[in-house]
Amino acid sequence: MVSYDKQTINTKNIFARYAHRTRLRISKNIITKNYINKDISILDYGCGDGIFLDQLSKIFKNSKLIGYDPYSKINHNSFVILNNFDEISKNKFDIICCFETLEHLYENEKLDLYELVKNSLNYEGKFIVSVPIIGGLTLILKEINRAILFKRKSDYTFKELFLSTFFNKSPKRAEDIKGSHKGFNFMKLETELNKNFTIKLKILSPFKNLPWFLNSNIFYILECK
């Protein structure tokens, strides 16, 4: 099993590494731009091994930093990772982050998360989301990266890959969405987010001034309605 950081910020693929490190930098910049020199409370939902919170802990030394990941077994001195969903619902937060996680949640899990955000965000708090763009020209690069570096067979047929790349027509979602991005469409998620929250800002990554089909990720900064 290849570790998450070896697949992302420390991958051997220079282009993928740049994209993932840019995503991490944007994540930090969104928070530091608005909250620097303030003591804040942050929840990182789906925090994995805590790379993002570890970096934030060096900037927000007196803030409450909590991560949630049901699978994480790592302990940290500068922040807490919780495995039980009920535990995080007892807290209030200025920021709730959900990076590269929503695309792996089933419908009931998304509804639970949306309800948590609405109940646990402080007044004028921010819900910050990033998800992958699975479509456009970058999809081909991602599939080549999977095949060469990780020796994984593509989940897509040639027809599915062609339609997703050039027409943004997503195939049916994979049976195991926990381990696959196949069929995820960020535009459908955006419609869902817009029904539940107010979208204050969208940021494309890694090339914010280029169209979505030349990018690999998109950020949403949201507020409760």
The answer to whether residue 88 sits within a structural domain is yes
Any domain includes 195: yes
- Specify if 144 maps to a domain: no
Name which of 125, 100, 112 is nearest 46 in CA terms.
Answer: 100
Instruction: Show the beta-strand stretches assigned E in 69-120.
Output: 80-82, 93-99
* List of residues 6+ apart from 94 with CB closer than 8 A: 35, 40, 41, 42, 121, 122, 125, 126
- Looking at the predicted structure, is the pLDDT value of residue 4 above 80? no
Q: Is residue 162 part of a domain?
A: no
pLDDT at 78: 86
Residue 24 clears pLDDT 90, i.e. is over it: no
Q: Beta partners for 219? A: 130, 203
Q: Residue 138: pLDDT band by 50, 70, 90 thresholds?
A: confident
Q: Flag whether 220 is in a domain.
A: yes
- Residue 49 in domain: yes
CATH code of the domain containing 120: 3.40.50.150
Q: What is the per-residue pLDDT for 120? A: 95
Q: What's residue 103's pLDDT?
A: 96
Q: What is the pLDDT of residue 33?
A: 86
pLDDT band per the 50, 70, 90 thresholds, residue 6: low
Round the average pLDDT of the chain to a whole number and report it.
Answer: 88
The string of pLDDT tens digits covering residues 41-65 is: 999 999 988 889 999 999 888 899 9
Enter the tokens of residue 207: 């090339």
The mean-pLDDT minimum among 70-79, 146-155, 169-178 falls in: 146-155
- Give pLDDT, residue 119: 95
The pLDDT value recorded for residue 7 is: 56
Give the separation between CA 219 and CA 221, rounded to whole angstroms: 7
Provide the domain count of the chain: 1
DSSP letters spanning 110-135: HHHHHHHHHHHEEEEEEEEEEEE--S
Task: Examine residue 152 and state whether it is found in any structural domain, yes or no.
Answer: no
**Antiparallel, parallel or unpaired: β 80-82 and 64-68:** parallel
pLDDT score, position 2: 45
Whole-model pTM: value is 0.88
Domain that holds residue 62: 4-135+174-224
According to DSSP, the residues that pair with 82 across neighbouring strands are 68
**Within-domain flag for 56:** yes
Percent of the chain at pLDDT > 90 equals 54
Write down the pLDDT at residue 121.
Answer: 96
Q: Residue 112: pLDDT band by 50, 70, 90 thresholds? A: very high
Would you place residue 13 in the very low, low, confident or very high pLDDT band (cuts 50, 70, 90)?
low
User: Do residues 68 and 136 touch, judged by C-beta distance below 8 A?
Assistant: no
pLDDT at position 10, please?
Answer: 58
